[in-house]
């Protein structure tokens, strides 16, 4: 151990108490400050299940990090605790993971299959058959089944609303069992893609979780900080700064907790046993960079080519690009990479998408006699982003490529 490269890191005192997962999103605290009203309202709906009746279906909306998942998981635990006769089944699914009608039905169905040999297989059956087994098995006993579809919008965008149609209608075909659906989403628009009947059935009750303000975030962080850190590791300024920074965006508790966790990790890594406001600022930069790189990594290949085109043009010194410039750069890269070449119109759409993701900044500029064009600039750190882009298999062939075409000159008054 004497000369081990790990030695300095093993010796430093940890700023965390034993369980560092307390600051991770998967941790559900014993109470959820500033969600008392929403919890009450949902409890009054779900209490019906404890009387053996079917609760209304509920749709819950709210921006990311407003506590939807945390509240519903918390209520799931509470309802199982209160369920003396064990008549309630609480089934939670995240539709980003369970994202096809087959998988959703299989997942629900297998909760009611006791015998291992009778389990519904991962693939191979018709959806119809899975649905029939599910209905049959579920209906063997008197019970109330509460099904939570978290990120329900992902399911709808990927597979349409067929499965929701069947699930929301299933009560008509059940004699003993009753089911109730709870959908969670951070996207208000997805209901436009639902059949009107599905939409009205799912939305018996609708709730919106508002974003947290800075004071509320501070309470949430304070609670977690007390659980996560040793005494004296953190001061009030650190918690307030994390809360204020997260509130500036849209009141996202996940972002606030991320800032605190990353600040703690940075402090720890530099061998300090206290977390300072400076660490929070460093954490903010790191979290932001990680977000940008993650967004870049998950872009479709054609969008990656567009973004790379913008970065390479800028690298060559063209600071204000028109849509035409970006298109020329894109075409050159797409040709080199051997992918198909999209139309300029489609590329214009991709630029708007990159703009929405915050990876580029596209402003409409008017110039000269009523002419209008977009002025496009990247808003990503070039070196790091380029590295991520070049990791894409399709783009790896154009590593270190230099553009040949010339940009047009934008004339500004
Ligand atoms: N009122 C609260 N009290 C304590 N912790 C909270 C509260 N609200 C949210 N959190 C914590 O913030 C993080 C994000 O919350 P959650 O996952 O519930 O957000 P969400 O609304 O489901 O977001 P998304 O739409 O992105 O899924 C979690 O770690 C959660 O425990
Ligand atoms: Mg969630």
Look up the CATH number of the domain holding residue 251: 1.10.8.60
Q: Say if residue 1's pLDDT is above 80.
A: no
What tokens were used for 129? Answer: 């058959």
pLDDT at position 250, please?
84
Q: For position 72, which CATH number holds?
A: 3.40.50.300
Among 261, 295, 329, the domain-final residue is 295
Among 209, 242, 266, the domain-final residue is 209
- Smallest CA separation from ligand 1 atom 3, residue: 32
* 58 and 125 housed in the same domain: yes
* 262 and 378 housed in the same domain: no
Contact, 385 vs 311, CB < 8 A? yes
Mean pLDDT lowest among 89-103, 303-317, 354-368:
354-368
Q: Which residue has the higher pLDDT, 152 or 270?
A: 152
Residue 407 within any structural domain of the chain? no
Q: Is the CB of 29 under 6 A from ligand 1?
A: yes
Q: Say if residue 368's pLDDT is above 70.
A: no
* 83 and 106 housed in the same domain: yes
Q: Is the CB of 65 under 6 A from ligand 1?
A: yes
* 98 and 193 housed in the same domain: yes
The residues near 34 (Cβ < 8 Å, ≥ 6 apart) are 212, 216, 219, 220
Choose the residue to mutate in 253, 259, 294 for probing ligand 1, maximizing ligand atoms within 8 Å of C-beta: 253
Residues lying with their CB under 5 A of ligand 2, a single-atom ion: 69
Confidence category of residue 413, pLDDT binned at 50, 70, 90: very low
- Smallest CA separation from ligand 1 atom 27, residue: 64
pLDDT at position 15, please?
83
Sign of CA dihedral 220, 222, 226, 230: positive
* 201 and 220 housed in the same domain: no
- Smallest CA separation from ligand 1 atom 4, residue: 32
Q: Is the CB of 35 under 6 A from ligand 1?
A: yes
Q: For position 358, which CATH number holds?
A: 1.10.10.10
Residue 403 within any structural domain of the chain? no
Q: Is the CB of 211 under 6 A from ligand 1?
A: no
Residue 361 within any structural domain of the chain? yes
* 155 and 255 housed in the same domain: no
Q: How far is the CA of 257 from the centre of ligand 1 (A)?
A: 9
Atom of ligand 1 nearest to the CA of 186: 25
* 118 and 184 housed in the same domain: yes
* 313 and 357 housed in the same domain: yes
* 388 and 323 housed in the same domain: yes
Residue 413 within any structural domain of the chain? no
Among 209, 243, 274, the domain-final residue is 209
The strand pairing partners of 229, in sequence order, are 16
Ligand in nearest proximity to the CA of 92: 2
Q: How far is the CA of 283 from the centre of ligand 1 (A)?
A: 19
- Smallest CA separation from ligand 1 atom 28, residue: 25
* 162 and 256 housed in the same domain: no
- Residue range of the domain that includes 229: 213-295
Q: Is the CB of 68 under 6 A from ligand 1?
A: yes
* 99 and 151 housed in the same domain: yes
What's the CA gap between 275 and 263, in Å, rounded?
A: 7
Residue 29 within any structural domain of the chain? no
The owner of tokens 């965008």 is 157
Choose the residue to mutate in 65, 210, 211 for probing ligand 1, maximizing ligand atoms within 8 Å of C-beta: 65
Q: How far is the CA of 398 from the centre of ligand 1 (A)?
A: 41
Residue 323 within any structural domain of the chain? yes
Q: Average the pLDDT over 123-147 and give the result.
A: 95
Atom of ligand 1 nearest to the CA of 70: 18
Contacts of 136-142 with C-beta under 8 Å, sequence gap 24+, read 137/109, 137/112, 137/113, 138/108, 138/109, 138/112, 138/174, 138/177, 138/179, 139/174, 139/175, 139/176, 139/177, 140/112, 140/176, 140/177, 141/176, 141/177, 142/52, 142/87, 142/176, 142/177
* 331 and 308 housed in the same domain: yes
Ligand in nearest proximity to the CA of 75: 1
pLDDT at position 412, please?
46
Query: How many structural domains are present in the chain?
Result: 3
Q: Say if residue 279's pLDDT is above 90.
A: yes
Q: How far is the CA of 175 from the centre of ligand 2 (A)?
A: 33
Q: How far is the CA of 161 from the centre of ligand 2 (A)?
A: 20
- Smallest CA separation from ligand 1 atom 9, residue: 67
Dump pLDDT digits (tens) for 304-337: 999 999 999 999 888 889 999 999 999 999 999 9
Q: Is the CB of 70 under 6 A from ligand 1?
A: yes
Ligand in nearest proximity to the CA of 153: 1
Q: Average the pLDDT over 54-63 and give the result.
A: 96
Q: How far is the CA of 42 from the centre of ligand 1 (A)?
A: 16
Residue 3 within any structural domain of the chain? no
Average pLDDT, the chain: 91
Residue 261 within any structural domain of the chain? yes
């Amino acid at each position: 151990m004497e000369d081990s490269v790990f030695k300095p890191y093993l010796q430093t005192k940890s700023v965390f108490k034993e369980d560092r997962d307390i600051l991770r999103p998967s941790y559900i605290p014993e109470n959820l400050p500033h969600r008392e009203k929403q919890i009450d309202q949902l409890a009054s709906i779900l209490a019906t299940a404890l009387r053996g009746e079917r609760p209304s279906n509920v749709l819950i909306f709210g921006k990311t990090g407003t506590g939807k998942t945390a509240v519903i998981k918390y209520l799931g635990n509470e309802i199982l605790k209160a369920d003396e006769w064990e008549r309630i089944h609480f089934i939670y699914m995240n539709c980003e993971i369970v994202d096809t009608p087959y998988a959703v039905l299989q997942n629900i169905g297998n909760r009611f299959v006791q015998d291992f040999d009778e389990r519904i297989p991962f693939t191979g059956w018709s959806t119809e058959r899975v649905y029939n087994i599910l209905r049959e098995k579920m209906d063997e006993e008197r019970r109330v089944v509460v099904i939570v579809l978290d990120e329900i919008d992902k399911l709808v965008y990927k597979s349409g609303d067929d499965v929701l149609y069947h699930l929301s209608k299933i009560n008509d075909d059940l004699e003993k069992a009753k089911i109730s659906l709870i959908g969670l989403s951070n996207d208000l628009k997805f209901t436009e893609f639902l059949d009107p009947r599905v939409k009205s059935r799912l939305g018996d009750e609708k709730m919106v979780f508002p974003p947290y303000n800075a004071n509320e975030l501070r309470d949430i962080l304070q609670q977690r900080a007390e659980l996560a850190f040793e005494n004296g590791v953190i001061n009030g300024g650190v918690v307030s700064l994390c809360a204020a920074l997260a509130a500036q965006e849209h009141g996202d508790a996940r972002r606030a907790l991320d800032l605190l966790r990353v600040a703690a990790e940075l402090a720890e890594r530099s061998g300090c046993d206290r977390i300072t406001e400076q660490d929070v600022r460093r954490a903010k930069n790191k979290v932001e960079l990680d977000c940008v790189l993650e967004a870049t990594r998950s872009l479709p290949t054609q969008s990656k080519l567009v973004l790379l085109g913008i970065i390479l043009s800028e690298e060559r010194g063209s600071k204000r690009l028109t849509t035409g410039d970006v298109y020329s750069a894109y075409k050159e890269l797409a040709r080199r990479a051997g992918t198909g070449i999209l139309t300029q119109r489609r590329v214009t759409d991709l630029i708007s998408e990159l703009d929405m993701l915050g990876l580029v900044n596209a402003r409409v500029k008017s110039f000269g006699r009523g002419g209008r064009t977009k002025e496009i600039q990247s808003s990503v750190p070039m070196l790091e982003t380029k590295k991520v882009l070049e990791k894409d298999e399709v783009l790896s062939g154009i590593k270190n490529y230099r553009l040949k075409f010339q940009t047009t000159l934008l004339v500004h008054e």
